[in-house]
Structure 1
Amino acid sequence: MRYLGFLVSIIITASLGVILSISIKTVPPLGILLDPHHGFWQHAYSEDELAKKEINLKNLKGEVNVVYDEYLVPHIFAENDEDLYRVQGYVTAQHRLWQMEFQTMAASGRITEIVGDIALDLDRMARRKGLPYAAEAAMQYLGKNEPETMRLVEAYADGVNQYIDQLSLARLPLEYKILNYRPEPWSAYKSMLLLKYMADMLVGDRDLEFTNLRNILGMTVLGKFYPDFPRDNDPIIESTKNWDFTPVSVEKPATIKYPNETVGFQNLVQPEEGTGSNNWAVHGSKTASGAPILANDPHLSMNLPSIWYSLQLSTPTHTVKGASLPGALGIISGFNEHIAWGVTNATRDTRDWYKITFKDDNRTEYLYNDRYIQSTFRVETFKIKGKVDFIDTIVYTHHGPIVFDRSFRGDRDDMNYALRWTAHMESNEQRTFLELNKAKNHADYIAALNHYTSPAQNFVFASKSGDIAMKVQGRFPLKWKDQGKFLMDGNDPAYEWQGFIPFEHNPATLNPERGFVSSANQHPVDPSYPYYVFDATYEHYRNRRLNSRLEELENITIEDMQALQFDNFHLHAAEALPVMLNLLGFDESLNSDSIEAKYFTQLADWNYFTHPNQSEPTLFQVWWDKLYELIWDKWKMEGKPILLPNKYQTTLLLAEEPESEFFDKTETSQKEQARDLVKESFEALVAFMKTWEEENADYTWATYKNTTVQHLVPNFKSFSRANVYTGGGAGILNATGSRHGASWRMVVEMGDQIKAFGIYPGGQSGNPGSRFYDHFLKTWANGEYVNFDLRSRDQQSGVLFTTKFKN
């Protein structure tokens, strides 16, 4: 049956590949796809069926053994670091080569080389916001200042390239055959590019949307709906924290004059609201075993091949295990014999926009401090499959690249917006993870983080010696209040960043009295923190649910932490739905058998959990979406993108100001209040659900939200997995939406005998025909885990196969 299913999948996907190729006037060679010796049939074999007992690898200093467990997780045993990372590169490429290259081609703006001009705008954006430029800066920094990191990154690249060099047509990953291209050599630059790609995925800014909001609403209303600190602020660093340092002073301009701009185009793609990540650690004083327990579940888009690749790395000096990022060295989220660590996105504003005034249309000079200074040009050539090259000229200022101008999303001669972003600066994030992989204590953890700048992350920590900690780490600009919230004047030096917050002043805590540390993408601090911190997209629900449960729990076990990662309680619904039901009221004249009464009763009796077989979450989500649109859609203006108020502020308005003017619909003569919009939206819910039930019958939560783990090429739907049966949702600890969710779950108890469990929504293999392509998916969807303990070199149980690497 596996072969039959794979045959159907490949026929469908190959057909899509042909259709895609026809649009770019080149058709993949179907003869190769159908060739039994080189085509798709070769991909019906799983890795254990193709395993080699011995592989010759040049440049090794010693012998390296790789032991694969029953889940295809490799455990690499080497005698030195250089051999370790050379073999990591080779092994990762064996299973994820196409994914590694595709992601770096996306980051470097080169997808047009694969699929043609349908990807041109996407590619132009990648280069215009400076991802290749940022990777080049990282490479220059490594070359000048970090020879040890460079040596190891080059060893990794050598391992990847030795795999590519011996790659036969039969073993060439299937996507290359369908899209009709070949892998090119890997490089240290591509590893740096991959880390910048992750920085881009996780950073957001709303400066341009807030510029429009300020012009539409004014500062008073803006402050009401987008406050610096929400009322129920439950920050990452406990509110009792004493900031025992003298802050660096920041000078605010005496007068602030922002450019009088209306932004008439869509800004950069932003992280989706309600998704993010969770991590926490509980002190041994709260656990049943007396040992700290650490948990981490980064929430990202769920893709196939999977974002993460699990493995263990061992030398005589250290053993580390966890989730790696294909293309980068070491473990990103994991543990070793001494410590465990994990990451969540810190949601800090590290990108700002500046309005640039050029001297003339040549754009060779721009105004700064009322004088014209020289700009520079970067000419980008886009090779387009099946067509002539496209040339794009990007102007660079001292702030950064001009991302948006008349030639790209603009319709005015004077529209020139430059992006300043910490990711453009010299850095070595790779070193942070190399050092964390070997760290033995809290001091080592802090030292490792001192090399980390972008994207901003919350690093949780637990050690075998009993410490727990959290640090919000990144390179954060020194800003005066409201700086960077709006488009700024690129001519005025007063709008420059005034340096950076010292790393030792970044929010951090060690062994807090409450017995736990946690983060869930919420505000990092309370108002006592002496530096300006703002973001409009901080989480307001997952964090409060997490902290309340960690406060309540005692004698905590690994199973308790696993259950908390899979917690389906909908705190937003628990706070919003009673308000909505009260405003709606219940019409006693309604027939108890009516559909309105049916939905009302279901919602009124709901326990606020979002298990996959429940239908109430669907009713609430549809009703909330309809109500939210009625309240805020009137703020939307054609061609003026804005950020609408979040769920938390909207719920507060409903609960505390039901007669507010903000509920009034300007297109009607009457003055609407919250009650009117609640009733209208409930009617819209009933109409929507009638149609849904007629067309789908089932409106359980799993069916409605349709969780999908999608192939990196969206058209390759037969290589994706739709209708995954699982609960959760945005703003819920189990933050599993339709396309986003826990990309990796890990729970580690740091006792005398370390116990670890992990899982992710996919599999170890990048080959759609392999039984390891999505073998973790059902386990993940059920909230279950696989044993992830450290493995010794001589352990015999659970071995799938072993490969020896020799020079």
Structure 2
Amino acid sequence: MKRFLRVLAWLLGLFLLLALALGFSGYLYLRSSLPQGEGRIALKGLSAPVEVVRDRWGVVRIRAQSLKDLFFAQGFVHAQERLWQMEFQRRVGQGRLSEVLGEATLSQDRFLRTWGFYWAAQEAYQRLFPEEKEAVDAYAAGVNAFLERGSPLPPEFRLLGFRPEPWTGPDVLVWAKMLSYDLSGNWEEELLRHRLLARGISPERLMELLPPYPEDAPTVLSAEDLRLPLKREEAPSALLRMAPPRFLEASNNWVVSGSRTTTGKPFLADDPHLGLQAPSLWFLMALEAPGLKAIGASLPGVPGIVIGRNHRIAWGVTNVGADVQDLYLLEEVGGRGYRYRGQVVPYRVREERIRIKGGREEVLRVRETVYGPVITDALQDPPKTPMALRWVSLDPEDHILMAFLGVNRAGNWEEFQRALEVYSAPSQNFVYADIDGNIGYIAPGKFPIRKEGHTGMVPVPGNGEWDWLGYRRPEEWPQVLNPPKGYVVTANHKVTPKGFPYALTYDWAEPYRAKRIEELLLAKEKLSLEDMKAIQQDQKSLLYRDFRPVLELLTPLSERGQAWKGRLLSWDGTMDKASEEALVFALWYTEFTRLPEKEVGEAYWDEPRYLLKALEEGDKNCDQPETEYQESCLDYAALALEKALDRKEALGAKAWGEVHRARFAHPVLTHTPLKRLSDREVAFGGDRYTVNVGPFDPATLRMDHGPSYRQIVDLSDMEASLFVHPMGQSGHFLSPHYADLLALWRRGDYLSLRFGAPLGRTLLLEPLPPP
């Protein structure tokens, strides 16, 4: 009875909140805007009936009689469940948020318009292969079929007072461009180095502050894995070696040969670490039509399956972080042009009209060069010298969708390789397994060929001397089939071994996650499905293992500090959400990252190897100028512990998960009275360096990035494979599937997605009869 009363009270509170925000008629409208999940719907554009089945979790299975109808139905279903998300993503890519959100997003629109994502999507659409274009057009037609029905729109449209425009081909492609942007951060690294050099920091000091990837750390591929001849490496220059492992969107994946498993067949695991949001980035689906049978994670707004399996193979992706962006310093002449190959070349000016909610319009004049747009014009604190961007994702031709559609249909390694030959960006670490027992790895992408001396790490003169010379051929990409060690692990760490013929990038993630995954894979002679799950959920910190010797040498400044030194030394380093030691260690390390703040101009400098070297060898930043004596770095670390304990007391927290919370915020509703309905927040463990990752804002301790999707594929029984993503399948906050997967995701549970006939609600999409 008490539980019933609590539920009743919650429902009454929900009704009152909606009534206050939208009125009673608005509430009724919202109820009517939930998607139709069963019955029949006649649609113009279909050639034959399509079956859409939703299971108890809202996971969708679509069966069609042709690929065209399949992608049409996928577009329709995505629109049913995630239309607002798709609209928001489209407006981000178009740089048109201000039309519906007002002045608050104007600077973001200026930035997006300057880069020209939508221009690039429009150009790419004109150059699609016929088969690729048919899939894109069918998908867009499915979205438009939903819009043309005149069904009540999701609540966000009513709140903001507009209706979406018809969907087009470039709308499909632009979200792929935005994801490529999110996963390509080299331009920011170049600006960072440029800024630090301008501050007077020498290249030698930069090597200390931003240490290169350690030579003894693991790489994805070993020398014996590669078929390409290795070259003798010459001693690199200071700037060539300067390689800061900064945080981009991260991920883990691995594939294990049947020789190392209890089943005798491979396991393949993947968990891409991306932004946590409401609704989820991903949508679970099974797609089936003649010539295609794939299941896994799809992206609302894009046809096909991005990560998953079909009836013969499985695949997973993590970000390579390849350097496919360069900034070019422009020598301006009279403000009208720039010097290039001995001549003054006038800027091409592209006019962008940004409409702002309320009626105002702003005209943005974007300067274009032979390299691309002058992106420093859109920065709030631009450098003195203007810089233009060269980036592969702004090239006029882009066939990334064709690559993924080919992967969806591939039945063996050769077909998988061939599908990826047209892959562009962002480069991904693709791991592969098939039912015949093969495992493999490939890093596809358009990797620029730079002339000798151009590392891609700092801006170079845009005078024509440092232009790209072309792209690497597919046969030159890092790849291996059936590596001798019997497994492949990728965790955004360095891909290629010493002596590889060219550099993919010099910016690699710290190898902590990769080391821990390998450690766990090698801990048993034979690995089971349960072992794969345990690895994916692991939150033991190798960062703690590296910093533990520092704690042993520490002389705390108080009895409180002494007591906590003992507790931390007795701790096993697991960053569990219920652990008080995890909380103190995270606060202590975070405080310690403030060490070079005055030198670099950034509050937190999360570079573990710089910090460890400072503790071992000393560093000028450890001495506090406000005191009369010279502090050592151990003194600084002891003071950092006291500050961490002060912060813990101010927070009033007894466990890591009390303050380290995974946050799922709606991009619009989080700023309205409906925030309590749209947003979610859960306690979480881990940190930036654990396998089950938990990166956090050091100022707030909030976690806005993390495992956005998890899958484990058992190649001995594909139907027993496991999948999950946070939040839920629906984008509608009144749907029972808005956040029903969040509890599973948090506690490490999974769903089984099968091709077999599921139990659930069935919706039949039928061709509209002729008039």
2:43 and 2:245 mapped to 1: Cα distance?
41
- 1:666 deviates by 4.8
Q: 1:669/1:347 Cα in 2 relative to 1: closer, same or farther (>3 Å)?
A: farther
Matches within 5 A, 1:295-374: 295-361=269-335, 363=336, 365-374=337-346
- Confirm or deny: 8 A CA contact 1:233 1:526 kept in the other structure: no
Moved more, 720-729 or 769-778: 720-729
Q: 1:736 aligns with which of 686, 689, 694?
A: 694
Show the counterpart of 1:21: none
1:628 and 1:489 mapped to 2: Cα distance?
34
Q: 1:691 aligns with which of 639, 650, 662?
A: 650
Aligned length, in residue pairs: 745
- 1:356 deviates by 1.3
Contiguous gaps of at least 5 residues in structure 2 = 1-5, 696-702
Matches within 5 A, 1:178-189: 178-189=159-170
Show the counterpart of 1:114: 100
1:501 aligns with 2:485: no
- Confirm or deny: 8 A CA contact 1:116 1:387 kept in the other structure: no
- Confirm or deny: 8 A CA contact 1:470 1:509 kept in the other structure: yes
1:90 aligns with 2:81: no
Q: 1:475/1:9 Cα in 2 relative to 1: closer, same or farther (>3 Å)?
A: farther
- 1:722 deviates by 4.1
- 1:662 deviates by 4.6
2:255 and 2:171 mapped to 1: Cα distance?
33
Q: Secondary structure at the match of 1:458?
A: strand
Q: 1:556/1:243 Cα in 2 relative to 1: closer, same or farther (>3 Å)?
A: same
1:255 and 1:759 mapped to 2: Cα distance?
44
2:460 and 2:435 mapped to 1: Cα distance?
48
Q: 1:686/1:597 Cα in 2 relative to 1: closer, same or farther (>3 Å)?
A: same
1:515 aligns with 2:486: yes
1:677 and 1:255 mapped to 2: Cα distance?
29
Show the counterpart of 2:28: 41
Q: 2:459 aligns with which of 487, 490, 506?
A: 487
Q: Deviations over 1:409-466 (max 9, x none)?
A: 3578x63211111110121100111111110000111111111111111111111111
Show the counterpart of 2:685: 727
Show the counterpart of 2:596: 632
- Confirm or deny: 8 A CA contact 2:349 2:368 kept in the other structure: yes
- 1:763 deviates by 0.5
Q: Secondary structure at the match of 1:304?
A: coil
- Confirm or deny: 8 A CA contact 1:114 1:385 kept in the other structure: yes
Q: 1:584 aligns with which of 521, 533, 554?
A: 554
Show the counterpart of 1:711: 666
Show the counterpart of 1:167: 150
1:790 aligns with 2:732: no
Q: 1:438 aligns with which of 409, 416, 426?
A: 409
Q: Deviations over 1:748-777 (max 9, x none)?
A: 111255421101111011100111001100
Q: 1:56 aligns with which of 25, 32, 42?
A: 42
1:447 and 1:614 mapped to 2: Cα distance?
48
Q: 1:604 aligns with which of 564, 569, 574?
A: 569
Q: Deviations over 1:96-134 (max 9, x none)?
A: 001001011012111101111111001111111221222
2:584 and 2:239 mapped to 1: Cα distance?
47
- 1:41 deviates by 3.5
1:467 aligns with 2:461: no
Aligned residue identity for 2:224: T
1:790 and 1:217 mapped to 2: Cα distance?
58
- Confirm or deny: 8 A CA contact 2:552 2:569 kept in the other structure: no
Matches within 5 A, 1:626-665: 626-629=591-594, 631-637=595-601, 644=605, 646-654=607-615, 656-657=616-617, 659-665=618-624
- 1:586 deviates by 5.3
- 1:44 deviates by 4.6
Aligned residue identity for 1:188: G
Show the counterpart of 1:777: 742
Aligned residue identity for 2:332: F
1:123 and 1:328 mapped to 2: Cα distance?
22
- Confirm or deny: 8 A CA contact 1:113 1:384 kept in the other structure: yes
Q: 1:454 aligns with which of 425, 433, 445?
A: 425
1:100 and 1:60 mapped to 2: Cα distance?
22
1:368 and 1:642 mapped to 2: Cα distance?
39
1:286 aligns with 2:260: yes
- 1:683 deviates by 1.7
Show the counterpart of 2:529: 558
Q: 1:496/1:56 Cα in 2 relative to 1: closer, same or farther (>3 Å)?
A: same
1:13 and 1:632 mapped to 2: Cα distance?
49
1:85 and 1:625 mapped to 2: Cα distance?
47
2:280 and 2:718 mapped to 1: Cα distance?
30
Aligned residue identity for 2:135: L
Q: 1:427/1:6 Cα in 2 relative to 1: closer, same or farther (>3 Å)?
A: farther
- Confirm or deny: 8 A CA contact 2:67 2:290 kept in the other structure: no
2:572 and 2:237 mapped to 1: Cα distance?
53
1:438 and 1:379 mapped to 2: Cα distance?
42
- 1:239 deviates by 4.5
1:241 aligns with 2:196: no
TM-score w.r.t. the length of structure 2 is 0.91
Aligned residue identity for 1:325: L
1:224 and 1:482 mapped to 2: Cα distance?
21
Contiguous gaps of at least 5 residues in structure 1 = 16-29, 258-269
Q: 2:182 aligns with which of 201, 206, 209?
A: 201
2:210 and 2:382 mapped to 1: Cα distance?
30
- Confirm or deny: 8 A CA contact 1:706 1:722 kept in the other structure: no
Q: 1:502/1:14 Cα in 2 relative to 1: closer, same or farther (>3 Å)?
A: farther
- Confirm or deny: 8 A CA contact 2:494 2:508 kept in the other structure: no
- Confirm or deny: 8 A CA contact 1:703 1:723 kept in the other structure: no
Show the counterpart of 1:681: 640
1:542 aligns with 2:516: no
Q: Secondary structure at the match of 1:122?
A: helix
Show the counterpart of 1:702: 657
- 1:360 deviates by 1.6
1:766 and 1:419 mapped to 2: Cα distance?
35
Q: Secondary structure at the match of 1:217?
A: coil
1:79 aligns with 2:65: yes
Show the counterpart of 2:131: 148
2:718 and 2:484 mapped to 1: Cα distance?
26
2:579 and 2:634 mapped to 1: Cα distance?
27
Aligned residue identity for 1:488: V
1:438 and 1:636 mapped to 2: Cα distance?
49
Q: 1:616/1:642 Cα in 2 relative to 1: closer, same or farther (>3 Å)?
A: closer
- 1:547 deviates by 1.5
- 1:664 deviates by 3.0
Q: Secondary structure at the match of 2:273?
A: strand
- Confirm or deny: 8 A CA contact 1:309 1:325 kept in the other structure: yes
- 1:644 deviates by 4.2
- 1:35 deviates by 4.2
Q: Deviations over 1:621-658 (max 9, x none)?
A: 111111121x2112134xxx79946123322432x31x
1:672 aligns with 2:625: no
Q: Secondary structure at the match of 1:303?
A: coil
2:444 and 2:650 mapped to 1: Cα distance?
49
1:704 and 1:254 mapped to 2: Cα distance?
43
- 1:12 deviates by 5.9
- Confirm or deny: 8 A CA contact 2:441 2:488 kept in the other structure: yes
- 1:244 deviates by 2.3
- 1:571 deviates by 0.9
1:380 aligns with 2:380: no
Show the counterpart of 1:799: 760
Aligned residue identity for 1:326: P
- 1:540 deviates by 2.2
